[in-house]
Structure 1
Amino acid sequence: MKNFTAQEIKSIAYHSKVFEALGQESRLKVFDLVCQSGNKGIKPKEIVEQLGIDGGTLHFHLKRLMAVNLIMTKSDGPRGTYYLNEGAPKGAIRLFS
């Protein structure tokens, strides 16, 4: 059995959180829309309209995706715009490109 280094354990723990976050179907759809929005980003209103989910549910999913650094927000009004975090794991991003 392999002995993992502290860095490897930290990496495995992080990636397991990423997969856990993407393991919920609605959240996966939200992440896909953010990925597909590219450099222009996407506003919460657009996500609500496209997925038919309520604002509270969307906020919950966006917070979860931000917590694992998959997405980020830039404030350009009261709600902001969501973008793919360029530091997100490349393997997760490739699934949606």
Structure 2
Amino acid sequence: MNMKHDDCLTLAQAASTFSALGSEQRLHVLRVLVRAGPSGLTIGELGRRSGVTGSTLTHHMKLLSAAGLVRQERQGRSIICAAAAYEEMQGLVDFLLSECCADCAAPQQGYDND
């Protein structure tokens, strides 16, 4: 996704990122990485915790990385994977809620449509 915090997320950017999350396994892998925090997990530990291993995990990590949602970094002989795009994920949520209740007579309690 690679957007600056000040940039407005376009419909095409949001669709592309949501597409990367359009698999239960990819979404599960991302949630495991979010739970692990910014230090991430080795690819082996990510596979153990997510139950997704081998070429399937490699494929999912490639798509999540291309969407800018995760990063992979070699440390010695290990590959460390981490959820890297907390601001981008927040941007997706903001995109979905940005016009919440805009067409309602009265805004729903708990949501701003600024």
Which residue identity lines up with residue 41 of structure 1 in the other structure?
A: G
Q: CA deviation at 1:48?
A: 1.3
Query: What TM-score, normalized to structure 2?
Result: 0.65
Give unmatched runs, 5+ long, in structure 1.
Answer: 1-6
Corresponding position: 1:44 with 2:57: no
Judged with a 3 Å threshold, the aligned counterparts in structure 2 of structure 1 residues 93 and 69 are, in CA distance, closer, same or farther, namely farther
- The one-letter amino acid of 1:72's match is R
Once the two structures are TM-superposed, the CA of residue 90 in structure 1 deviates from its matched residue by 1.2
Q: Which has the higher helix share?
A: 1
In the TM superposition, what is the alpha-carbon distance from 1:82 to its structure 2 partner?
1.1
Shift of 1:93: 7.8
Tell me, what secondary structure is at the counterpart of 1:81?
Answer: strand
Match of 1:4 in 2: none
8 Å CA contact 1:34, 1:84 repeated in 2: yes
What are the ranges of 5 or more consecutive residues in structure 2 without an aligned counterpart? 1-6, 95-114
* Structure with the greater alpha carbon radius of gyration: 2
Aligned CA RMSD, in angstroms, stands at 2.4
Could you state the TM-score of these two structures normalised by the residue count of structure 1?
0.75
Percent sequence identity over aligned pairs: 26
